[in-house]
Structure 1
Amino acid sequence: MKAGLWALLAGAGLLALPVAGYFYLRGLPCETCAHDSAAPYLQQLEAQRLAQTGADPEHYQAAVRQEDRQHKRFPPTPPAYALVHVDRRFTAPQRLGPAQLQQLLRVLNDSASYQWGEIGTPYFDRVITFHSAAGACIGVTELSYDSQTYSTPRLARMKWGELQEQALQQILQTLHDPAAITEPALRP
């Protein structure tokens, strides 16, 4: 009986050690955390990202001109329809009407809709998926009401995804227009 009790206590102690260590490390100041040892590497990655994504106006303009010459648009092929996902659990996605789909694509593909910058960690209020006639997903835009978008595939003209206030209002007006939603999208 005593041996079983000691084994149970030893097992609980072995389980408690990693948990206690986790909470101990979380409570330490940031300069002692292992994450900060990667700070120079992360700064270097951020500098490379700035160089590649176009914080330099000449690089950005050249990238946009190249996209225009190659007729690159978002999504890469014209979508047959788009679904607006409010949440992933309790609400069925809604299908946008053709006029609202074209309005949304016009705003998303216009470089004047974006400004340089991005907000911290956005909460995405809507996810819009673009689909081909066969039903394949050909593009995704995550939209935050705080003006941040992330579109995949990404284009240079989207800068870092932060929308101008006017562009955000156009998108919100398009999404909240009662005529925009043609029908609930039924899942196959």
Structure 2
Amino acid sequence: MIPCTSISFHKWSNGSISPFSYNHQSLGGNTMETVKDLIQEISGGLSQKSASRKDEIRVMGAMLSDPTYTVSIYGKNGPEGEYCPCEDFRGMCSSVISTVARVSTAEAQAMMDDYQVKKSEAGSMVNMSKEFINTYLATGRKINLGGRVDSDISLKQKDVPATTRTYPQKVGVNEDGSPRYAKNPTTIPAHKSIRVHAPCPSWVK
């Protein structure tokens, strides 16, 4: 069954009409997941720490939809402020709506109030976030992930030169029945890697 999406044509203050007013709940179909609950759910049920595209999208969707989720930003001297991904995202979208639809900022902000990010939108944001890191690191500059309550992590791309390593390879069986090995040289091509810099933050006592 295709979920019903309630769409209505909205008359903007400038007199234009467009299908920008809709029932956000009908798009998601589920109650909003809070970021803190989602982190606890995922971390509490891990059997192995492998990547999960599904969980990436769920966490991104929650971050952009949950106005109660904030993180403390730390600098050299300790706490510097709070950051809310949801507020930042809604502010960005409001700016786009205001520019494209040529309406007031207040009207555009009203459109984004209580907006719940769709799975496809969260997936696109995950893709862009990953590609930004890859693209920016290609410039050779370090990227700071920002100080948090117990971390201060930065990343930098590094070039790994081609190398030759030897690995044991089974080539037969000895007279006593034990396996016989020989050193097998293997060439590892030059490639890119990441250097992680994560010292103990100065504000952690």
TM range (shorter): under 0.3
Q: Normalized against structure 2, the TM-score is what?
A: 0.23
Bigger proportion of residues as strand = 2
Larger Rg: 2
Q: Normalized against structure 1, the TM-score is what?
A: 0.25
Task: Tell me which of the two structures has the higher relative contact order, counting C-alpha pairs closer than 8 angstroms and 6 or more residues apart.
Answer: 1
